Copies of this chain bind each other. A is one copy, B any other.
Amino acid sequence: MKVYRNPPQSEWANLLQRPVKDASTLRGVVGDVLQQVKERGDEALKELEAKFDKAHLTELAVSEQEIEEAESLVSDDLKKALKVAHANIHTFHASQRLNLTPCQVTLGVTCWQKAVPIEKVGLYIPGGTAPLFSTVLMLATPAKIAGCQQIVLCTPPNSEGKVNPAILVAARIAGVSHIYKVGGAQAIAAMAYGTQTVPKVHKIFGPGNQYVMCAKQMVSLHDVAIDMPAGPSEVLVMADADSNPSFVAADLLSQAEHGIDSQVVLVTNSESLVTSVQAELDRQLAALPRNEIAAQALANSKIFVLTTDDDMMALSNAYAPEHLIIETKNYMELAEKVVNAGSVFLGPLTPESAGDYASGTNHTLPTNGYAVAYSGVNLDAYCRKITFQHITDDGIRAIGPTVELMAANEQLDAHKNAMTLRLQSV
């Protein structure tokens, strides 16, 4: 990792810049996939699965029998772990239910919000060699708590036409039963437009490769909402002389192993910690199966040595990390100053991997600096807050003249008249 000592604040933006990926080059190929699925539905999905996943499918829907088979293929230990994680994710997301009470704005004018679940949601779970069954729990659990009526899950099959059994077991634990063997941009198209087999949904959630991300962006322009834009995963670790260098190194590496484009940043006020963390990184890296990926990610990663707590927090807020781990002695004090981050991990015993799997928080979080404007996935993401209002005679008398005057000044006389008629009636 490259070390920067007290760089002037004017250079931070440049030093913290993330690699720019231009999705526009993908729009041609992704647009073509979207169009095919829109026009030809299931037939196109099957052709595209044969082309991209080498899977020759007769049925797109995962059968009950396949789910039963998956149950027998997943170890009891993993099933138990999935149930513990699901219970914790359920507990935290259920605690996010809102108690919304009506507000008497003025005499006779009552307004309120009601959280209403989005009726139809689509969850995308990537495939590949390391299937992200944890993401099934993260996306499906709040959907069930919210009360979404139709939850559709798409995930690519392998070349034998099978879905990873841990994904199917996680889906069953989370209560999802509509699972389709379709991946990539074609899966996003299927959920955005609907096909003979895959239902159209109102909002699509989940991670994916650059084709999936590009497809989500394209369909979000007109057809369907999406959870958030996305980029490579990232962590910023804040540590001081009191931090455990072995923990800090492990936390940096758990981000670095995701991919060579993973963003890993260490911010500290301690030169001695820099030395000890670098030694630990070397030691731990050697033992990792994915050490080549992690080593490449680390080579692009940065250590900032800054003098004050305020500078450390300002740099973190300027970066707006997806994951922020604060392992300094005064972590609770610094936590108060977090302005931009997706999810924050506090203290020496709170590694990011806790939240990645089983502490209960969601791991679908804003990357690429999007934390300045977006929240991670939470219960809200599956609901809309619809406003309601009710006005009585008193209310009409209280706000009627105001409405009339403002409408007249905006030259909207019919708006005014709708109020005038009520005023005349009370």
Contacts and interface: CB of A to CB of B under 8 A. Distances in A.
Interface of A: 23, 77-78, 81-82, 84-85, 88, 91-92, 95-96, 98, 101, 103, 105-106, 109, 111, 113, 116, 118-119, 129-134, 166, 202-203, 217, 221-222, 224-225, 229, 244, 246-247, 250-251, 253-254, 256-258, 284, 287-290, 294, 335, 338-362, 370-376, 378, 380, 384-393, 395-396, 399, 401-403, 405-407, 409-419, 421-422, 425-426
Given A91-B105, A353-B407, A393-B349, A253 B132 contact: no
Contacts of A290: 411-414
Given A247-B421, A354-B399, 15 more contacts: A88-B399, A91-B105, A95-B103, A133-B406, A224-B373, A246-B421, A247-B418, A289-B411, A335-B388, A344-B386, A353-B407, A353-B416, A353-B419, A359-B395, A376-B387
Contacts of A415: 254, 257, 352-353, 356-357
Contacts of A388: 335, 338, 343-344, 346
Q: Assembly of this chain: how many copies?
A: 2
Contact of A103 (B106, B360, B405): B360
15 contacts: A78-B409, A81-B406, A82-B406, A85-B402, A130-B412, A222-B229, A250-B421, A254-B417, A256-B414, A349-B395, A354-B391, A354-B395, A357-B399, A375-B386, A376-B385
B288 A414 contact: yes
Contacts of A414: 250, 253-254, 256-257, 284, 288, 290, 294
Contacts of A101: 95
A359 B399 contact: yes
> Of residues A111, A338, A350, A421, which shows the largest number of chain B Cβ atoms within 10 Å of its Cβ?
A111
B116 A339 contact: yes
Nearest to A399: B358
Which 8 A-B residue pairings sit nearest by Cβ, starting from the closest?
A225-B373, A105-B360, A95-B103, A130-B411, A250-B418, A351-B418, A353-B415, A253-B414
A357 B257 contact: no
Contacts of A405: 77-78, 81
B401 A81 contact: yes
Contact of A391 (B347, B395, B410): B347
A412 B372 contact: no
A341 B418 contact: no
A284 B420 CA distance: 12
A237 B387 CA distance: 16
A344 B354 CA distance: 42
Given A103-B92, A373-B118, A166 B342 contact: no
B98 A98 contact: yes
A247 B373 contact: no
Given A251-B418, A338-B386, A389-B355, A202 B372 contact: yes
Contacts of A348: 422
A101 B396 CA distance: 37
Contacts of A372: 118-119, 202
Contacts of A254: 412, 414-415, 417-418
A350 B244 CA distance: 62
Contacts of A421: 246-247, 250
Nearest to A372: B202
A405 to B, nearest CB: 4
A228 to B, nearest CB: 9
Contacts of A229: 221-222
B375 A341 contact: no
A249 B67 CA distance: 56
Contacts of A416: 353
A85 B406 contact: yes
